[in-house]
Amino acid sequence: MQFAPLYPLIHRVVHPFFPDCLWQGQPGSSTIALTFDDGPHPEHTLQVLEVLDRYQIKASFFWLGILVERFPEIARAVWQQGHWVGIHGYRHTPFPQLAPAELQQDLERTQQAILQACQLEPQQICQISDVRPPYGFFTPSVLQRLQEWHYRPVMWTVVPEDWVRPGVQTATQRVLNQTRNGSIIVLHDGYSGGEDAAETAMLLIPQLLEKGYQFATVDQLWQQRSRAQMVLQN
């Protein structure tokens, strides 16, 4: 059974209870974010990069630490091409299953793997602070710890369930049907569903551009959110 039709409903129910997560960009802006989970992968990720380069857009990648260590040159290529990078856990273990010390070690190990692979300076560690929990699972206590440790929790609004490989056309249509202003779209370029990532992106991106959407990184959505909050406070 596929649950793709339920994800928009789940988003509307859960989103208001966890406002400190980045669930979406600004509803009044045509800016959206295209994100990829579960990489880097030596083939799928490179294929995705070719598509992104063709359309000259920037995406955001949420990585598994163990794969960053295994394929550092792929991680470095993503970073050098100007895409945004975040943490998706070291081995894709659900965060609520980890004790606090284990969770902190999991995040730090992945963060350090990214720093080393992308050849960043230690002071650039603050640029690797976005975290997307594996499977989207978290609890209020997990969220509190992420914030205490100065990580930024990132979720999504559009999930075509591409990891079960419903077909490129089906995944593409699901995204087109669900995307609205500020949407955060999640595809997968790892070992589950990554076989279709580049082809899906190739179909999807020009149609979203034709609809008038503009692509931004997750970091740019955080910046939009900060500016909007400042306007409300003044």
Assessment of whether the complete model's pTM goes beyond 0.75: yes
Which of 81, 68, 7, 9 is CA-nearest to residue 40?
68
* Contact between residue 25 and residue 215 where contact means Cβ atoms under 8 Å apart: no
Mean pLDDT score of the chain:
93
Is pLDDT above 70 for 129?
Answer: yes
Q: What is the dihedral of CA 105, 111, 115, 116, to 10 degrees?
A: 40
Q: What is the mean pLDDT of residues 128-150?
A: 94
Phi, psi of 23 (to 5 degrees): -95, -25
> What pLDDT is attached to residue 13?
61
Q: Per residue in 12-34, pLDDT tens?
A: 666 666 788 999 999 999 999 99
Our answer to whether residue 106 is catalytic in this structure is: no
One of 37, 38, 162, 196 is an active-site residue; which one? 37
Burial of 73 (0-12, 13-18, 19+ CB in 10 A): exposed
| pLDDT, tens digit (0-9, with 9 covering 90-100), for 160-186 | 999 999 999 999 999 999 999 999 999
How confident is residue 8, by pLDDT bands cut at 50, 70 and 90?
A: low
Query: What is the pLDDT confidence band of residue 6, given thresholds at 50, 70 and 90?
Result: low
219 has pLDDT over 70: yes
CB 69 within 8 A of CB 97: no
Q: Tell me if 58 sits within 8 A of 52, measured CB to CB.
A: yes
Q: What is the mean pLDDT of residues 208-226?
A: 97
Q: What is the pLDDT of residue 128?
A: 97
Banded model confidence at residue 52, pLDDT cuts 50, 70, 90: very high
The whole-number pLDDT of residue 1 equals: 46
Q: Which of 44, 162, 188, 196 is catalytic?
A: 188
Is residue 188 annotated as part of the catalytic site, yes or no?
yes
Phi, then psi, of 99 in degrees rounded to 5? -65, 155
Nearest to 171 by CA among 3, 25, 4, 1: 4
